[in-house]
Copies of this chain bind each other. A is one copy, B any other.
């Protein structure tokens, strides 16, 4: 049994703790949160002890590995501590909002051989993964175009925005990773526009965007489009489309059930899509933990590693530069 500690007992940390506890080959070792009562609640639910500090966790001989689900600006530090103490780590995205900090972290950790997995959960979604398999298996021939639609059901609160580092680093970063995964090669050029269509005043004030479109091109010429919005009122909209030379696959949205309504006004009407990431990506979060446990057990590098986290951030930086300067930005300009 792999004994995993969870740092951070917010919504996503609580979910990870439960998934670890339910995993047949892992167990929840301990939890920690800066808010002691949050940690106690989660610890109590799973019958484990809450730790008094992150350092206590990293020092513990009863902890084999660490899952980091704390606020973003602690991620790089905790990755470094995990590596320093030889504990494999699964860290929520992003590694950091600063590419410079990520690069420093890379220098500190990459040569040490301690497994670092980044929490790009969407790669583990059964539908997205089946799309990837279809592309890899040759089913659709040569891959030509990737189209990713990724829209959140509603605007988060202002406080969230202030800490998130902007839509490209916070939200599109998932899509940049998914794009790299699906394309199977690195985007070389990025074009992006950022719009303020939902709440122009707040977006203006925060110098952020609520609606974006991105186009990327790889060295071999593969094309990728991403669109984001903070306003899919019909549920969390998460689609991936892969067009190849002899076929196409589309990974579509998930509904809570399959009831269809028929009336004089509408036919085949379904419920709104699963909302939000914890429900929509339930299987993905499970599979992510499973992949982490398996890679530690086998001593193999994680499927989604530190460099994936860094590359996604670089694409985000390129997109920001493109949106500001209105031109096709070469990824090599960034890092």
Q: Which residues of A contact B (CB under 8 A)?
A: 22, 24, 45, 125-127, 130-131, 134, 139-140, 142, 144-145, 147, 149, 151, 189, 191, 193, 195-198, 211-213, 215, 217, 221-223, 225, 227, 229, 231-235, 237, 243, 245-273, 283, 326-328
In the complex, what residues of B have CB within 8 A of residue A245's CB? 197-198, 231, 233
Nearest CB in chain B: distance from A51 CB, A? 22
Q: Is the CB of B130 within 8 A of A263?
A: no
Q: Which residue of chain B lies nearest to A143 when distances are taken between CB atoms in the complex? A: B197
> In the complex, are the beta carbons of B127 and A235 less than 8 A apart?
no
Name A225's contact: one of B142, B227, B283 (CB within 8 Å).
B227
Number of copies of this chain that the complex holds = 4
Whether the Cβ atoms of A261 and B217 lie closer than 8 Å is: no
Determine how close the nearest CB of chain B comes to the CB of A204; give it in whole angstroms: 12
Q: How far is the CA of A22 from the CA of B21 in the complex (A)?
A: 10
A144-B198, A272-B264, A272-B266 are contacts. A229–B243 as well, Cβ < 8 Å?
yes
CB pair B273 A145 closer than 8 Å: no
- Asked if residues A251 and B262 are in contact (CB atoms below 8 Å), the reply is no
* 8 closest cross-chain pairs (CB), A and B: A127-B257, A269-B269, A252-B258, A234-B262, A126-B257, A248-B262, A247-B263, A266-B269
